[in-house]
Amino acid sequence: MVSEKIIVALIVVAILLSVVSIAVTISTVNTKMIPRFSNLNLPDEDSGRVSLRISPTPEGFGAG
Amino acid sequence: MENRTLYILAFLAVSVAVINLSVTYLKINDFREAFSGFAASDTGTINITVLGSVNINFIRNAIDWGTGVVYTNNSNPNATLTTRGNGQGLVVGGNWSSSGVYGLIIANNGSVNVTLNLSTDKNHTDLFGVAPSGLSALQWNITDKDSGSCAGGNLALNTFYDVNKTVSEIACTQLGSASSKNEIFLDFYIMIPADYDAAAKANLNQQVAIYANATVAP
C-alpha cells in the first residue's frame, strides 16, 4: 500500500503548485498585460542651407 | 484501500495544479497582443504616461549671399562673408549683398532637452577648390539666441570653427526645451580666395547643406 508520507507529500506539492500558479498569474498580468512603451523619443532631423555664387573678377578689380 | 483513494486524489490534485499553472501562463501570454484596454465595467482607471517628443527645426533655414566678385586689388585678395545672428551680414573684400542676410536659427520645439549634432555636405575646398594662397575658409559659430539655450558640446559658443564634412559635431550636449531658452544662432564665416578654382567654380550656384540631428539629451 501507498504510505501516508507520500500522500501528504503529494498534497503539499499540489498546494505549493497552486500557490505558484497564483503568483505567476499575478506577476504575468502585471508585467505583460500592461503595454510597455518602448522609448518613443526618436531622433529628429532638419536641414538648412548656405548658398552663394562667384562671378569671375577682372584682374585688379576692387572697391577702389 | 482508503490510502489508495487518497493517493489517487493527491495525484489528481498535483496534475490539475500543473495543468493550471501551464494554462494560466500560456493563456496570459496569448492575451498580451490582443489586450484592448477596455474596462470590463462602466468605470475604470487609466494611467497615462506622456512621453517626451523630439522636434528640431531650422526656423530660419537659409543664408543666400547671391552673386558677387572678389576684389583683387588688395595685397591678400579674398572676400569674407559673415553672418551675425539677427544682425545684418558683413561683406569685406567683395561685392556680395548683405541685405537680408542673417544667421540660421535652430530651435528645439520638442518637450525634452536634446543633444544637437551638426553636419554639412561640403568643406571650403568643395566650394572654391584648392587655393594656392590658402585664403579659403568655411567656418561656423554657435551663439545662444536665448541665453542659456546651449550647453556642452564640442563647439564653444561665440567661436568660429572650420567646418569638416566628415565629422558630425556635437554642437550642444543639452539644448533646452523651455520656450525661453530653446533657440540658437548658427552663423557662418566664408573666406573666398581670389585664386579660387575659377575654371570649376565660377558662375556656379554653390550650396552647402547643414544638417541638424537631435536626440534625447542624457
Interface pTM, i.e. ipTM: 0.74
Q: Please list every residue in chain B whose beta carbon sits closer than 8 Å to the beta carbon of residue A30.
A: none
Mean pLDDT over residues A21-36, rounded? 70
Mean pLDDT over residues B17-34, rounded? 72
Which tens digit of pLDDT belongs to each residue from B159-169?
999 999 999 99
Q: In what order do the strands lie in the sheet with B114-120?
A: B62-68, A44-54, B205-216, B114-120, B169-175, B150-151
Does the pLDDT value for residue B48 go beyond 70? no
User: Residues 5-64, chain A: which have Cβ within 8 Å of B?
Assistant: 6-7, 10-11, 13-14, 17-18, 20-21, 24-25, 28-29, 32-33, 35, 37, 39-64
Report the interhelical angle of A4-28 vs B2-34 (nearest 10°). 10
Quick one: pLDDT band at residue A59, thresholds 50, 70, 90?
low
Of the partner residues A25, A35, A46, the one whose CB lies closest to the CB of residue B28: A25
The answer to whether residues B76 and A64 touch, using CB atoms and an 8 Å cutoff, is no
pLDDT at residue A54, as a whole number: 92
Q: Which of A10-19, A48-57, B54-63 has the lowest average pLDDT? A: A10-19
Reported as type and span, the H/E element at residue B209 is: strand B205-216
Quick one: pLDDT band at residue B63, thresholds 50, 70, 90?
very high
The answer to whether residues B205 and A53 touch, using CB atoms and an 8 Å cutoff, is yes
Task: Dig out the grid coordinates for B178 from the structure.
Answer: 523651455
The answer to whether residues A34 and B37 touch, using CB atoms and an 8 Å cutoff, is no
Q: Where are the domains of chain B?
A: 56-216
Of the partner residues A7, A21, A46, the one whose CB lies closest to the CB of residue B17: A21
Q: Which amino acid is at B25?
A: Y
Does the pLDDT value for residue A37 go beyond 60? no
Please give the Cα distance from B181 to B14 (Å, whole number). Answer: 66
Does the pLDDT value for residue A39 go beyond 60? no
Are A45 and B212 in contact (CB < 8 Å)?
yes
Mean pLDDT over residues A49-56, rounded? 93
Mean pLDDT over residues B108-113, rounded? 92
The CA distance from A27 to the nearest CA of chain B, in Å, is 10
For strands B150-151 and B169-175, give the pairing: antiparallel
Distance of CA B144 to the CA centre of its chain: 16
Which tens digit of pLDDT belongs to each residue from B179-192?
889 999 999 999 99
Are B210 and A41 in contact (CB < 8 Å)?
no
Which residues 6+ apart lie within 8 Å of B173 measured at CB? B115, B151, B152, B153, B217, B218
Question: What is the number of other CB atoms lying within 10 angstroms of the CB of residue B4?
Answer: 11
Quick one: pLDDT band at residue A63, thresholds 50, 70, 90?
low
Backbone angles phi, psi at B41, to 5 degrees: -115, -175
CA distances from B23 to A12, A19, B16, B28 (A): 21, 15, 10, 8
Q: Where are the domains of chain A?
A: 10-34
Are B210 and A57 in contact (CB < 8 Å)?
no
Quick one: pLDDT band at residue A45, thresholds 50, 70, 90?
very high
For strands A44-54 and B205-216, give the pairing: antiparallel
pLDDT at residue A1, as a whole number: 58
Reported as type and span, the H/E element at residue A55 is: none
